[in-house]
Structures are given as structure tokens and as C-alpha cells.
Amino acid sequence: MSDIDKNVGPTVEAVAQAIIAHADELTELDSAIGDGDHGHNMKRGMQAVLDDLDALAAKPWNEALKAAGMQLVMKVGGASGPLYGTLFMTLGKTLDTPPTRAGLAAAFEAAIEALMARGKAHAGQKTMLDVLVPAAAALKEGKGAAEIAAVAATACAQTRDMLATKGRASFLGERSIGHIDPGARSTQIIIEAIAARSGDVK
Ligand code: ADP
Ligand code: MG
């Protein structure tokens, strides 16, 4: 295992704990424009990842991401489970090991494309893609971790004024406007947790 791969365990743990700590908030957001299960769904998936942490931490980044993605597919459920699963599994499949910054940007792009194909969606529809796409662009442009986290935070806040045209929130039509998208918020939380650790991960 390379030195950089020693960060897999602590980073995965930080991401899982951040989601679990915000589960109630995610459920509240999903109660406003969905069916109120997003926090519970994500918490169940991230708990499974934590239960598997020792095995994950022994793997290189690419294998660990694939394994985490499979846990999310199996445990999260809802619309977001297969989507997050696709994101992490494709990241794992595409990432070089040990990861480089250019490799990470390319893998993130491939993972977002796979997610878009899976969900038949694109940015602008009030989903997690409205955070993922600008964050990936910031990464590709060479922005630092704090800047990428700031881009994700702004993008998440901007979902409040958007009209949902994909997923359960789209059933509400105009009434989806005025609420932050729960998947956009969970994505932002994940990006923030990774960015906070990036001093070690670089
Ligand atoms: P469900 O909508 O089945 O209850 P969740 O509540 O777990 O699933 O997840 C809802 C989130 O999933 C939404 O807030 C949105 O960000 C995301 N989402 C839903 N459908 C899509 C899609 N087709 N593409 C991308 N993201 C989507
Ligand atoms: Mg839901």
C-alpha cells in the first residue's frame, strides 16, 4: 500500500460520520420536497460503510471506492442509492493508484457521466448534479480544497431557487421552488468532509 492510500480509512470515516451527523437535516429537507427518507437512507448506507471500515482501509483508493460504492447501492435505497453507488464505483474503476490530482479530476468527470446516464439527468434539474458538476469543474481548473468546498456550498444554496424537473421533487412542480435539494446538500456535505481532510490526502 502506498503512503497516500493510508488516508483511505480516515477519509472514508470522516465522510460517513459527516453524513450521519447531518441525517436529521437531510430528512427535513427531503420532507419538504420529497418523501422524507433521504437522511435515513444515507445514514443506513454510511453506517454499512463504517461497519466495513477495517476492510476498506486495507485497500488502495480505487478498490476502497468501489467497495464503498457497492455498500451504498445495497444499503441506501431510494433514487440516491444507485446514483451514489454509480458515482463511487465509477470513481474507483477510473482512478489511478496511487491517485494523482489530474487522475482524480478525470475520474470525477467519468463518474458524473455515469451518474447522469444512470439517472437520465443533467445539471439544472435541482439534484445532486447541481453540486457535483460545478465542484468537478473547480477541481479540473486546479482550485484548492477550500475553494472547491466553497463552490459546492454556493451551488447547494442555489438549488433553493431552482425548479425540480427530475426525481420525486419534480412531482411538486412550482412548489419545489424555495427549498434546498436534499441530494445536493448530501453531496455538499461529502465534498466538505473530503476537503477538510485534503491536507492529508493531497
Ligand atoms: P427518493 O427520491 O427515491 O426518496 P432519496 O430521498 O434518497 O430518494 O434521494 C433524493 C435525491 O436524489 C434528490 O434530492 C436528488 O438530489 C437526487 N436525485 C433524484 N433523482 C435523480 C436523478 N435522476 N439524477 C440525479 N439525482 C437525482
Ligand atoms: Mg426521498
Over residues 89-106, the pLDDT tens digits come to 999 999 998 888 899 999
CA pair distance 37, 186, nearest whole angstrom = 12
- pTM of the shown model: 0.97
CA pair distance 78, 123, nearest whole angstrom = 20
Give the pLDDT confidence score for residue 97 in this predicted structure.
86
User: Closest residue (by CA) to atom 5 of ligand 1?
Assistant: 38
pLDDT tens column, 19-50: 999 999 999 999 999 999 999 999 999 999 99
Nearest to 137 by CA among 104, 103, 109: 109
Is the pLDDT reported for residue 71 higher than 60?
yes
Query: In the block, which residue shows the cell 453540486?
Result: 131
CA pair distance 141, 159, nearest whole angstrom = 23
Cα of 181 from ligand 1 centre, angstroms: 9
Cα of 137 from ligand 2 centre, angstroms: 27
User: Closest residue (by CA) to atom 4 of ligand 1?
Assistant: 78
Is the pLDDT reported for residue 202 higher than 50?
no
Is the pLDDT reported for residue 83 higher than 70?
yes
Residue 199 binned pLDDT confidence (cut-offs 50, 70, 90)? low
Is the pLDDT reported for residue 17 higher than 80?
yes
Is the pLDDT reported for residue 200 higher than 80?
no
Residue 84 has φ and ψ, to the nearest 5°, of -65, -40
pLDDT tens column, 122-161: 999 999 999 999 999 999 999 999 999 999 999 999 999 9
Q: Helix 80-94 and helix 38-51: axis angle, to 10°?
A: 40
pLDDT tens column, 151-185: 999 999 999 999 999 999 999 999 999 999 999 99
Cβ 29 under 6 angstroms from ligand 1: no
Cβ 23 under 6 angstroms from ligand 1: no
